[in-house]
Amino acid sequence: MSAGGTFALYSLLCRHAKFSLLPNYQAVDEELSKYQNPCQSTAIAPSQLKRYLDKNKNFRTILLVVVLYGACMVMCIGILNPPISVLSSLDGLQLRVEQLSHRTVVGVACAVLVGQFALQHRGTYRVAFIFPPVVLVWLLSIAGIGVYNVIHWNPRIYRAFSPHYIYLYFQQTGKEGWLSLGNVFLAITGTEVMFADLGNFTAASLRVAFICFVYPCLVLQYLGQAAFISKNFYAVPASFYASIPELMFWPVFIMASLAAIVASQSVISGAFSIVKQCQALGCLPRVKVVRKLRWIHGHVYVPEINWILMVSSLAVTFGFRSTTLIGNAYGLVSIIVTLVNTWLITLVIIFVWNQSWNLALLFLLFFGSIEFVYLSSSLMKIAKGGWVPAMVSMILFSIMYVWHYGGRLRYMYDVQNKVSMKWILSLGPSLGIVRIPGIGIIFSELVNGIPPMFSLFISNLPAFYHIAVFVCVKYVPVPYVSDRERYLIGRIGPKKYRMYRCIVRYGYKDVPAQDEDFEDNIVTSVNCRSPSVVLNIPQICLIEVGMNYYL
């Protein structure tokens, strides 16, 4: 998919099944190189059902609601992950420094969080070179400690791989065992956003690294903890730090703190990407998006969101002061994101990969049933911390849906009240006003026709520029659009009217050009003399105005 996460799945459905609610689809968009579907099967697609759902507005609305709620939950992960990562890494201090109070640990965690968010505007690329060795040493160290604990405490712990022990666990614990599943799920949290931000890596590289290195290291560490706990039941509340040999404690503590910062950074970057994608979908007000590295796609920084995340993370840290309560909230958020992605993948199997319904239902029943069991346990923790992400996600969802709904109404109004071409032609080439040298750039969301506001220009302005360019910035359901495919140029009306349309296409992970660069690119594209372009603006017109534009 070349980009991952909830929006990547939704874009596949919009691209190949036409499930988008915005009526700005153009057939020419399918000619984009990224529009191709390399995973599509040659099987016969359920075209009748697809056509029915394409016309069913209720289904498309439900799909959008699910996607937006999943995005809200990912934003909640951006709030919860930094506090729980930093707090859990610092909890070991109280085991070695007995006079250290928990309040001091919370204060240190808050200081670390403030520092991390305050440095976001400088770009992580300045210190990113230390991230790989930190993660590498951290994973190797916990794997080594796990192997040590297995050998030292219980070499037979490998028997825990047998499903028989799952049965014994629930037989002995009953309801308490079921309630503990919400905490068990925390062992795999992070995987739900592993593909949310692919600015630095490819999906294939992440899969290989996880399967061949990360996963084995984690399994060895969990086996080691289980072996230690089997002989030291008293250490269950702080089993990780308690299981570390005395000589290795401080090096591991330092690496744990650094690894927590790296883990938090990946989630923060993912939150920035989600905000950028929500804007592209028309579900959030426009905020400043800064592209830190021009040679890396998707590496963005959103100032307003950064400070909101910082304040929210500090509030969670001060409010909960416990990794247990934050873990309850984090587990609920993670399982909901996983369920949303499972449902979307089921639709992708049917409508994008054109596989059979039986395969899709088998996938949904197998993974969905497992995830539903975890969800049922996590829902019981709402009163113990889970209410925070539930409340925050509903606030975010309300903002997103209302903004998207208002944008649809605005677009439909423009479509229904387009300026008649017959009226424009009746005014003559001068449009009934004085045409002065220059280029007027009129922004509009319409991909066809003349926006209603242009009639106000003509009626109320004594003069207008010699050349009028209607610019539509449009987001298409692909992650990126290459520069050579970005601009669509066309003439509106007869040549002597000098009215043109420029549709600027961006992918949902593209960062638009800023200010002067954007205007320069438009004029360059409109003035291009390539045979594939149907118009030319005389170079003398550009020279006369000195590249001044009316916005």
In this predicted model, which residue has the larger pLDDT, 7 or 193?
A: 7
- Residue 502's DSSP bridge partners are 471, 489
Sorted by where each starts, the structural domains of the chain and their CATH numbers stand as 6-403 (1.20.1740.10), 421-550 (no CATH)
Whether the predicted pLDDT of 38 surpasses 70: no
Helix, strand or coil, per DSSP, at residue 226: helix
pLDDT exceeds cutoff 90 at 518: no
Least confident of 27-41, 128-142, 317-331, 428-442: 27-41
Residue 113: its pLDDT value, please? 94
Lowest pLDDT segment from 322-336, 343-357, 525-539: 525-539
Distance CA 149, CA 268 (A): 33
Q: What is the pLDDT of residue 2?
A: 38
In whole angstroms, what is the distance from residue 71 CA to residue 63 CA? 12
Q: Does 545 score more than 90 pLDDT?
A: no
- What pTM value is reported for the model? 0.84
Mean predicted lDDT score pLDDT of the chain: 83
385-405 pLDDT, tens digit each: 899 999 999 999 999 999 999
Of 99 and 408, the one with more pLDDT: 408
Cβ atoms within 10 Å, residue 218: 17
Q: For the segment 50-76, what is each residue's pLDDT rounded down to a tens digit?
A: 777 777 888 889 999 999 999 999 899
Report whether pLDDT(213) > 60: yes
- Is pLDDT above 90 for 306? yes
Neighbour order of strands in the sheet with 499-507:
487-492, 499-507, 463-476, 434-443, 549-550
Whether the CA torsion 189, 192, 197, 201 is positive or negative: it is positive
- Contacts by 250-257 with C-beta closer than 8 Å and gap 24+? 250/96, 251/141, 252/141, 252/142, 252/145, 253/89, 253/92, 253/93, 253/96, 255/134, 255/137, 255/138, 255/141, 256/89, 256/92, 256/138, 257/86, 257/89, 257/90, 257/112
Question: Which tokens in the block code for residue 233?
Answer: 């039941």
Query: What are φ and ψ of residue 511, in 5° steps?
Result: -110, 115
Residue 531: pLDDT above 80?
A: no
In terms of Cα–Cα distance, which of 139, 545, 182, 112 is closest to 371?
A: 182
Reported as a single tens digit per residue, the pLDDT across 71-83 is: 999 899 999 999 9
Confidence of residue 192 (pLDDT cuts 50, 70, 90): low
Q: Look at residue 535 and tell me whether its pLDDT is greater than 60.
A: no
Residue 101 above 60 pLDDT?
A: yes
* Local confidence band at 542 (pLDDT 50, 70, 90 cut-offs): very low
**What whole-number distance in Å separates Cα of residue 46 and Cα of residue 3?**
26
- What is the structure's pLDDT at 224? 95
Per-residue pLDDT, 437: 85
User: pLDDT (tens digit, 9 = 90+) per residue, 230-274?
Assistant: 999 888 878 899 999 989 999 999 999 999 888 888 888 888 888
Split at pLDDT 50, 70, 90, the class of 198 is low
More confident residue, 101 or 393: 393
Q: Is 46 left (phi over 0), alpha (psi -120 to 50) or beta?
A: beta
Q: Say what the pLDDT of residue 355 is.
A: 86
Return the higher-pLDDT residue of 323 and 365.
365
CB 487 within 8 A of CB 503: yes
Tell me what percent of the residues of the chain surpass a pLDDT of 70.
Answer: 87
Tally of residues, the chain: 551
Using 50, 70 and 90 to split pLDDT, how confident is the model at 197? low
Q: What is the pLDDT of residue 200?
A: 61
Q: How much is the average pLDDT of 182-192?
A: 81
Average pLDDT for residues 158-186, to the nearest whole number? 89
pLDDT at 204: 82
Residue predicted with more confidence, 283 or 21: 283
Q: Which of 474, 470, 477 is nearest to 486 (CA)?
A: 474
Q: Which pLDDT band, with edges at 50, 70 and 90, does 193 fall under?
A: low
